[in-house]
Structures are given as structure tokens and as C-alpha cells.
Amino acid sequence: MSSNDSGGRARVAILGAGAMGTLFAYSLARDNDVTLVDVRGDVVDTINESGISLDDGAPRKVIATRDPSKIFATDYLFVFVKAPNTLPAVRPFAGQLNPATPIVSLQNGLGNEEAIKVALGGTVPLVVGITNEAAYAVGHGRSRRLGGALGSTVVGSAGATYPTVRQVQAILQRGGLECAIAYDIRPHLWGKLLANASINPVAALLDAKNSIITDDPNAGELARELAIESAAVAKALRVNLPFSNAWEYVRTVLAASPDGRNSMTIDLEARMRTEVDQINGAIVAAGRRVGVPTPYNEAVLRLVKAKERAPRE
């Protein structure tokens, strides 16, 4: 039983002090003792000195560290690192956590569940989900919500019992975050995957805001083809997507954050490794398994990876 279950403050650990890790840490720090783990020493130092902040809220005190061993006794472990970094970020916790400690992944793309289970074992109490909370970093330990609007989160089991999933929902709700439970989380994971696969690489390759997809007919047509192609793969996998029209769903997502710059755009601009392998690459791999051609996803996958490696001018 966690401290939170018995009425005290729970110990919450968050891997990754980027924009989203900071957003969730700020919300959870109201009623819990939060520790952020990040590999960047300057980020850790700034957070320990100044706390973390969200939008125009007053800073909240949390602990930041580069040492994973400092949080082995945590009651909850949230994973907010980029998908390519999931395995190395989680591996230090193998055999170190209480077997009942919930592991929570709200990350982009596919493959995070598998990486966590490779690191920690296939029977860990894993909770996975999606969130349309969207934020950007305005400094170390400082995030701002896109549009200033509160988003929502959906969680489900990837090995956790229902009471554990309910426990995760409850701690998020107590932090002021909207959270629902899905008994079958896979349709929601694929729904977000489809939206990310259709929007992120197109805007990233054009080094533009997401609105380029609605403003430019060529960008829009490429995004539409990506959405249709991704939906065909989901259908072949017998995933019942939570919408009937893939392109209309993508347009709805775009309308919610037209002025946003997605994470793939930001990463490419910084010449950092993106999550394209876990997004478009995951759709290409799934398409091969079920015999569905994915030429549009494969094209943007190759273009984004080429741009990742392109020399700076």
C-alpha cells in the first residue's frame, strides 16, 4: 500500500524533466513528494534551486536528480522520456522497485511497453495510456500549456490489475488532471499514433507549425494519405479505432493546436533524434506483418531520418 492510499503524501518519481514531465510533475507535486530524474546536470541544478512552474502558477518545490537509485523506493514511476530512450532510462530499476509499484507510460509511439517489459520483466504492473495534454518548455523546469487549455488523459492496463489502474487514475485526478480508464487501451494508443504519424513528420519536414497541414493543400494531402494508410494497418490488425473517419479525426486534432510546433519539429530543428521510428516506423513494421503497403509512412520515415543525420549548415 502506498503512502497516498493511507492518506499521506505518495512518493512519485518521473523520468524525464522535459515539457511534459514538468507539466505532470507540477500537477502531482501539489499533494505528493515528487522527484524528477534527468540526465542533464544543468536542468537538475536549476530545478533544485528554483522548483518547477506551469503557466503562470507559483513555483512548486520538487527534488531533481541524475541518480536513478535515489528513487528506487518510489510509490509510482512515471516515464516521460522520449521513446528512443525508454530502455536505457528504465533499465536501472530492474530488480530494485517494489513489485507492486505502478509503472506509468504516457509516451508517444509504439514500443514503450515492450521496452519497459524487456527492462523490468513481463509481469510488471504497467499502466499505459495517451494524453492530449500539450506543453512546451520555456526554461529548465518551466512549461507552458499550448493554448493554455487543460487536456485529458486515458489510461489502461498493460499488465496492471484494475485496482492499480484505478489508483493511477485517482492520483492524476487529485492533481487536477482529467483522467479516464479504458478497458481496452489499444484503440486509443493507435488513435494517437495515427494522428502523430499524420501530423508530426509533415510539419517537421517543412519546419512549420502544425497549421501548415490545413493551410497548404500539398501538406494536407500528404497528411491525409498518411492517415488513411495508417488506418488501413490498424484495421488489418483488428484494432477498432475510436473514430470512423481517420482524416476527420486528424483535422480535429489539428484544430485543437493549430499554432503548435510538435515534438518532432522541435527535435529536428535541434538536430536531435526524433521518435519517428516509434511512430511512422512502427506503422511500417506493422504493415509488413499484416501485408498492408505503407509507402507514405515509409517515405516520411526515410526523409525524417535523413534530416536527422544531415550536417548543419
CATH number of the CATH domain containing 233: 1.10.1040.10
Cα pseudo-dihedral 122, 277, 78, 266, rounded to 10: 180
Q: What is the mean pLDDT of residues 94-118?
A: 97
Spatial separation of the C-alpha atoms in residues 115 and 291, rounded to whole Å: 25
| Predicted TM-score of the model (pTM) | 0.94
Q: How many domains does the chain have?
A: 2
Query: Is the predicted pLDDT of residue 7 greater than 60, yes or no?
Result: no
Query: Is the predicted pLDDT of residue 5 greater than 60, yes or no?
Result: no
Q: How confident is the model at residue 313 (pLDDT cuts 50, 70, 90)?
A: low
User: Same structural domain for residues 279 and 305?
Assistant: yes
Domain assignment present for 104: yes
User: Same structural domain for residues 35 and 148?
Assistant: yes
Domain assignment present for 1: no
Q: What is the mean pLDDT of residues 61-79?
A: 98
Last residue of a domain, one of 156, 183, 210: 183
Last residue of a domain, one of 150, 183, 216: 183
Mean residue pLDDT of the chain comes to: 95
User: Same structural domain for residues 199 and 150?
Assistant: no
Whether the Cβ atoms of residue 157 and residue 127 lie closer than 8 Å to each other: yes
User: Same structural domain for residues 87 and 205?
Assistant: no
User: Same structural domain for residues 62 and 26?
Assistant: yes
Domain assignment present for 273: yes
Domain assignment present for 131: yes
User: Same structural domain for residues 18 and 130?
Assistant: yes
3-12, 100-109, 244-253: range with lowest mean pLDDT: 3-12
Q: What is the mean pLDDT of residues 219-237?
A: 98
3-state secondary structure labels for all residues of the chain: CCCCCCCCCCEEEEECCCHHHHHHHHHHCCCCEEEEECCCHHHHHHHHHHCEEECCCCCECCEEECCHHHHCCCCEEEECCCHHHHHHHHHHHCCCCCCCCCEEECCCCCCHHHHHHHHHCCCCCEEEEEECCCEEEEECCEEEEHHHCCCEEEEEECCCCHHHHHHHHHHHHHCCCEEEECCCCHHHHHHHHHHHHHHHHHHHHCCCCCCHHHHCHHHHHHHHHHHHHHHHHHHHCCCCCCCCCHHHHHHHHHHHCCCCCCHHHHHHHCCCCCCCCCCHHHHHHHHHHHCCCCHHHHHHHHHHHHHHHCCCC
User: Same structural domain for residues 262 and 161?
Assistant: no
If one counts every other C-beta atom within 10 angstroms of the C-beta of residue 184, the result is 11
User: Same structural domain for residues 119 and 163?
Assistant: yes
User: Same structural domain for residues 44 and 105?
Assistant: yes
Beta bridge partners, 102, equal none
User: Same structural domain for residues 124 and 156?
Assistant: yes
Quick one: pLDDT at residue 260? Answer: 83
Encode pLDDT of 260-271 as tens digits: 889 999 999 988
- All cell numbers assigned to 109: 509511439
For residue 66, the enclosing domain spans 11-183
Q: How confident is the model at residue 6 (pLDDT cuts 50, 70, 90)?
A: very low
Q: Which of 217, 223, 192, 233 is nearest to 300 (CA)?
A: 223
Query: Is the predicted pLDDT of residue 2 greater than 60, yes or no?
Result: no
Last residue of a domain, one of 149, 183, 217: 183
Spatial separation of the C-alpha atoms in residues 49 and 198, rounded to whole Å: 40
User: Same structural domain for residues 83 and 131?
Assistant: yes
User: Same structural domain for residues 297 and 216?
Assistant: yes
Domain assignment present for 301: yes
Whether the Cβ atoms of residue 179 and residue 172 lie closer than 8 Å to each other: yes
Q: Any idea what the CATH number is for the domain that residue 35 is in?
A: 3.40.50.720
Q: Which of 111, 118, 125, 124 is nearest to 83 (CA)?
A: 111
Query: Is the predicted pLDDT of residue 203 greater than 70, yes or no?
Result: yes
Domain assignment present for 217: yes
Residue with cell 480508464: 181
Name, in order, each residue with C-beta under 8 angstroms of 58's C-beta and a sequence gap of 6 or more: none
Domain assignment present for 2: no
Q: What is the mean pLDDT of residues 61-70?
A: 98
Domain assignment present for 3: no
Ramachandran angles phi, psi of 285, nearest 5°: -65, -40
Q: How confident is the model at residue 149 (pLDDT cuts 50, 70, 90)?
A: confident
Name, in order, each residue with C-beta under 8 angstroms of 208's C-beta and a sequence gap of 6 or more: 219, 265
The burial of 213, by beta-carbon neighbours within 10 Å (0-12 exposed, 13-18 middle, 19 or more buried), is given as buried
Quick one: pLDDT at residue 259? Answer: 78
Phi-psi region of 131 (alpha: psi -120 to 50; beta: other; left: phi over 0): beta
- All cell numbers assigned to 107: 509516451
